[in-house]
Amino acid sequence: MSASDFLVLNHVSKVYRRNQSLIERLKKSESGGTKAVSDVSLTVRHGETMGLVGESGCGKSTLARLVSGLMAPTSGEISFPPNASGNKSRLQMIFQDPYSSLNGRWTIEDIIAEPIRVHKLRTGSAAIRARVDELLVQVGLSAADAEKYPQEFSGGQRQRICIARALAGEPDFLVLDEPTSALDVSVQAQILNLLRDLQKNLHLTSLFITHNLSVVRIMADRIGVMYLGELVEEATSEELFRKPRHPYTRLLIDAAPDMDTSDRSLHPIAGELPNPAFPPSGCRFHTRCPFAQEICRNTSPPQKATESGGMFRCHFDLDLSDATVFPPAAQVRMA
């Protein structure tokens, strides 16, 4: 682990076991289960925002919960360095739904002050209140809002309160799980800009999880792409979009409709997302991949390093910088 490494995930897996029957329990047999996260290795460096993208069921939220310690991994290890004062690094999380993540019976002051009290960051009610006011102003609200209750605020304002609460703990590391997915476009832009400013001013290290490639492109320095529990590619934000190495990344970039009204073509990915409980053999993407060969069906692809420090999992070294290299999706439709 080098000095700049902050969070290191080493071959982390998480299996959700299904309930065992009595006989299975007596026989102590392995019941199997859904491998939500499968052998993910990842490093987040100091001061960097690592983005994670993927569709539903790819394990990105499970990974967020593993990193935040809300669940223990089935295998592998997650390590944080101790911070300057020798204590464990403090971590805070921002959730997707600002309606269910704030306690409606607490005032905003109580909500934001809680991490300050728990971690004993300030003593005395006046000092705590001063810190709450400061945080509210920092996230674009006013000190007068401290007396109010969450239901008096709109979705965007509630997400600002969640951000203030996360910052109140003075975290070294922030986990953001789809922080803008529940918000409207114009409000989403406000929250993304606020988060970008905070990243810059507070030098936060963070893990930013979303299904929206455009959002992650704006927010992250490096991006990891997940598919059915596996990390299939990881590269700097710039390189991932300019020269993706995994076919899924390329297809995902093209699948989201952009706002160009002169080219109205759509680019669906062939087939459907397989059930994550029963991932395909070999390369998990082979059922939908236009480049799939015999080897992809049988052998799991190795993890390959790129010259620029990225990683991808594919048997082939494809040049996917140009979208036109793809055979039309119609040929493999409903595979």
Partner 1 sequence: MINATAPLLDVRDLTVTINREGRLVTALDKVSFFVNPGEVLGIVGESGAGKSITGAAIIDLLVPPLKRTGGTITLAGERLDQLSPKAMRGVRGGRIGFVFQDPMTSLNPVITIGQQLCDTIQAHLKLGGNQTKKRAHDWLDRVGLPNPDVQFKRYPHQLSGGMRQRVVIALALCADPVLVIADEPTTALDVSVQAHILELLRDLHRESNVSMMLITHDLGVIAKMADRVAVLYAGRVAEIGPVGELFNAPRHPYTRGLIRATPMPSATGEMRLDQIPGAMPGLGAVPPGCAFNPRCFRAEGDCRATIPPLYRQESSAFSCFHPLERVPA
* Rounded Cα gap, residues 199 and 47, in angstroms: 8
Q: Which is nearer to partner 1, 9 or 182 (CB)?
A: 182
**Cβ 99 to partner 1 shortest distance, Å:** 13
- Tokens representing 288? 């939908």
* Rounded Cα gap, residues 228 and 300, in angstroms: 13
Subset of residues 269 to 308 that bind partner 1, contact rule: CB under 8 A: 269, 272-273, 288
Choices 4-12, 25-33, 160-168, 209-217 (CB under 8 A): range interacting with partner 1 = 209-217
Interaction between residue 188 and partner 1 (CB under 8 A): yes
**Cβ 136 to partner 1 shortest distance, Å:** 17
Subset of residues 228 to 247 that bind partner 1, contact rule: CB under 8 A: 241-242
- CB count in 10 Å sphere of residue 254: 18
For 331, which DSSP code?
G
Interaction between residue 333 and partner 1 (CB under 8 A): yes
In sequence order, the β-bridge partners of residue 202 are: none
In sequence order, the β-bridge partners of residue 15 are: 35
Interaction between residue 255 and partner 1 (CB under 8 A): yes
What strands lie across the sheet with 173-177, from one edge to the other? 91-94, 173-177, 205-210, 49-53, 222-227, 230-236, 311-313, 303-305
Choices 90-98, 110-118, 165-173, 256-264 (CB under 8 A): range interacting with partner 1 = 256-264
Subset of residues 11 to 70 that bind partner 1, contact rule: CB under 8 A: 55-56
* Rounded Cα gap, residues 133 and 36, in angstroms: 41
Interacting residues with partner 1 (CB under 8 A) = 55-56, 154, 156-157, 184-190, 192-193, 211-215, 217-218, 241-242, 251-252, 255-262, 264-269, 272-273, 288, 333-334
